[in-house]
Structure 1
């Protein structure tokens, strides 16, 4: 990353030799909240999709991978919450954290520059792929990891099966022209649903499925654009025929949209999708509903949300990873 972007310095601040702390008060780690697999999976995504990682970033990826393999049980499910005294506070399961762990493992298996990281990540991914989740977004996140594996290893039947099951879980868009979305409500990481359908269409050579995903993403992008800038779904969500709140907007929405639009640009070659990625980058740089910079230049941390009074100044793992993820796309824009 260039000097004009936040880089990984706050993510390193939030990490230790065990994993990644979930919360921070402003920039200071809140150790009492411990670690979670959900965030470590996200961290592994951004750490291993760097094409030329510094040594400390490779070490960070190793740490995150070790955390995930420790969290995984013999069935392929994962614990989610580890306290600061290194005790699991839950039983293994297949909630969102399973999906994000699978996304991280799939990305590491496909993109990590260190062969030992790729090998170990693929083993854990393959074990995790024996599971399926009843939760939609867990399946979607796991499907994004499967797409990464399948792009690197087109003959992987394990990844192909998981990806298609994820796209099937999303379902068909509504026939309501005012709400052409497969779910009755927009909640969180919405663009990931469209991205996994796009990926499934691309990698199975299903033109209709690809067109469906692109149409979903186009509508979602349009509904989250106001006066040429992003105004994304807030934490309370949106549904048809109901007033739409503008705040508290979450960085994860912007990052998910950037990821999906970057995938759409690569798959289609249509540069209009690159403009949507630019809007996501601009949201963090202050082109948003509050005209507020959404990261701290002093620390490199991402702010936790955009309120009507400006940013929530806490700089936790989710928002910092969303910032890094979006800025990774900024470095690849033409």
Structure 2
């Protein structure tokens, strides 16, 4: 098994991209672009990174970031439990409700924050409240990625294996209020969403195409990752089989013969029967593929997936099609990706958050 190279993680840039409202969406090189404002998508991903940081460091700065990002998501939630996404710099939201993927990303972040024992109880209570408000929308989701994000967030709340099965971390609260985030209700929602993903996969795959749709676009790795997560709480072997088959197919399409990660480019993606677009390569794809491969490693016990995850991590550090690091050694920021002319030298929030998540997962195995 390939070992992850130990490197320091500089978090000053993450702090500089964050004001008292939330994390800025875009930058002009290394400076926040206030004209582009904020999104719930980015603040949700930043919340996950901040929770991972706090789990490791238990410091006041990481806790402050958790509070800011969680407060943003709380402000984004409508009375009916749905979430708004795009916010201008003047703190005015630009829509009444965000995309389905936004709903899923928010639930992923809230479920993850709720699952981490080191997060203070008062913040976890906020997470529980918001998740409970959002649950009525879950079964109406139709976007496969929204369903996947939701499954990953909900399964995080179900706890870790304790030798006798999976222990729900809020069992006493469940008994006190049987209508509030019950284990049975969460497992039911997970099973329903996972089955819909599985059925979509069965309806789309072919002899030389093992995928959920007729194209591979963004966030591909979330789909097999969600089914791997769901397989722990279901007796359905087909969830795990579909997850493995689709993840292996995705890996075959996104790793170069030399072994480095090469995601489908955002300028054209990969359409069934066509050629994979070469550019742009985006950091979020490396991060999410890393997370899915680590899940496969733990679930299936095959070190091959751990090695793939490490290759995704090394993509950030120069093991890529450009042979250049995407990490700014001066600021600790992460460049926006690789395009046809070289590195995209902007350093937006999605990218530094993706790198933080990848780094923290691989260095605390």
Specify if TM > 0.5: yes
1:64 to 61, 69, 86: 69
Q: 1:274-317: CA deviations, max 9, x gaps?
A: 10111011100101011111121111111111113221010001
Higher mean Cα deviation, 58-67 or 91-100?
A: 91-100
Equivalent residue number for residue 24 of structure 1: 27
Higher mean Cα deviation, 60-69 or 136-145?
A: 136-145
Which segments of structure 1 move beyond 6 Å, counting only runs of 4 or more? none
SS at match of 2:79: coil
Equivalent residue number for residue 104 of structure 1: 109
Q: 1:149-208: CA deviations, max 9, x gaps?
A: 123664623322332233234222444231111211000010000100111112224322
CA distance in 2, matches of 1:308, 1:287: 17
2:187 to 160, 168, 172: 160
Equivalent residue number for residue 272 of structure 1: 304
CA distance in 2, matches of 1:228, 1:3: 20
Q: 1:199-231: CA deviations, max 9, x gaps?
A: 111222432211211221122112211121111
SS at match of 2:307: helix
2:130 to 119, 124, 147: 124
CA distance in 1, matches of 2:6, 2:302: 29
CA distance in 2, matches of 1:12, 1:83: 20
Query: Closer, same or farther in 2 for the Cα pair 1:90/1:136, shift >3 Å?
Result: same
Equivalent residue number for residue 232 of structure 1: 263
Alignment of 1:79-228 (within 5 A): 79-111=84-116, 113=118, 114-132=120-138, 133-151=141-159, 154=168, 156-170=183-197, 171-173=200-202, 174-226=204-256, 227-228=258-259
On the 8 A contact 1:166/1:196 being kept in 2, the answer is: no
Higher mean Cα deviation, 10-19 or 110-119?
A: 110-119
On the 8 A contact 2:85/2:99 being kept in 1, the answer is: no
SS at match of 2:250: helix
SS at match of 1:311: strand
Root-mean-square deviation (Å): 1.8
CA distance in 1, matches of 2:331, 2:239: 42
Query: Closer, same or farther in 2 for the Cα pair 1:215/1:5, shift >3 Å?
Result: farther
On the 8 A contact 1:290/1:310 being kept in 2, the answer is: yes
On the 8 A contact 1:163/1:196 being kept in 2, the answer is: no
TM-score by length of 1: 0.94
Gaps of 5+ in 1: none
Tell me whether 1:251 sits opposite 2:278 in the alignment.
Answer: no
Q: 1:69-114: CA deviations, max 9, x gaps?
A: 1111121101112211111121024522111111110001111512
CA distance in 1, matches of 2:194, 2:280: 29
CA distance in 2, matches of 1:318, 1:73: 24
CA distance in 1, matches of 2:150, 2:298: 20
Tell me whether 1:36 sits opposite 2:39 in the alignment.
Answer: yes
How many residue pairs match? The answer is 332
Equivalent residue number for residue 75 of structure 1: 80
TM-score by length of 2: 0.86
SS at match of 2:343: strand
CA distance in 2, matches of 1:65, 1:187: 29
CA distance in 2, matches of 1:304, 1:161: 38
2:352 to 313, 320, 326: 320
SS at match of 1:230: coil
